[in-house]
Amino acid sequence: MQPGEISLAHRGVLFLDEMPEFRRELLEAMRQPLEDGCIAVNRASGSVTYPSRVLLVCAANPCVCGYYGDPKVPCRCSSSERRRYAKRLSGPILDRVDLHVAVPRLTPEELLSEEEGSRENSQTIRERILHARERQRARWHPFGYSCNAEVPERLLRKTMRLGTKEKTFLREAARKHVLTGRGMTRLLRVVRTIGDLQGEEELSLSMFAEALGYRKDGNPWMNA
């Protein structure tokens, strides 16, 4: 028995390009390993458990032709074609993706732009991420964890100390956007991480709003 791609990417990045083109049963088989951080393989010759704690990154077109939602080029797909394309990815597998970010097509001016001075460079971003990771390690080390993604839901909620305003916001968000229990927990992890990236231990409503935007506004199939 040999480890598969999700185990070979343990503690690294697993990138699935054109995610809807993967076989449905293959994607569904990833649900439990992504949740548990390990995968059990059972065969007639025996059983083995492989680690599978990965940073999953997925890319997908908004539709078959690739122009759904484009401000310049009209989509050539019918509504039924868009629905069939969207159904290639189930709700449970999308629920395990913390950030849903829509990336619009760059204009020719943006592609040819050389004005890099106003942009944040990779080194600056890297330093901020390293600081955030150190904050997480210091916070969770006494409990045996190293980052926000690994912390059990109960411990996460206990340490966030949500106030009345935050609870009200989450309750309304769950009702309006039909968040599942898993979706709510992942939203809280993103909020905690946003705070760490900003160097803030106290969480603000703006952080909750930003985290919610990553779940509802970035999904290209919300209105497919």
pLDDT value at residue 109: 79
Q: Which of 88, 61, 91 is nearest to 76 (CA)?
A: 61
In the chain, where are the structural domains located? 5-97, 122-216
String of DSSP letters for the chain: ----HHHHTTTSEEEETTGGGS-HHHHHTTHHHHHHSEEEEEETTEEEEEE---EEEE---SSSSS-TT-SSS---S-HHHHHHHHTTS-HHHHTT-S-----PPPPHHHHH----TTSPPHHHHHHHHHHHHHHHHHHHGGGT--SGGGS-HHHHHHHH---HHHHHHHHHHHHHHT--HHHHHHHHHHHHHHHHHTT-SS--HHHHHHHHHHHHTS-TTTT-
pLDDT value at residue 223: 47
- Match 């995968």 to its residue by tokens: 39
Task: Note the maximum CA span of the chain.
Answer: 60
The CA distance from 191 to 207, in Å, is: 6
Can you read off the two tokens belonging to residue 9?
């990417």
Q: Are 63 and 70 in contact (CB under 8 A)?
A: no
CATH class of 5-97: alpha beta
Q: Are 167 and 157 in contact (CB under 8 A)?
A: no
pLDDT value at residue 102: 86
Give me the residues of the chain with pLDDT under 70, please. 114-118, 216-224
The CA distance from 135 to 15, in Å, is: 26
pTM reported for the whole predicted model: 0.84
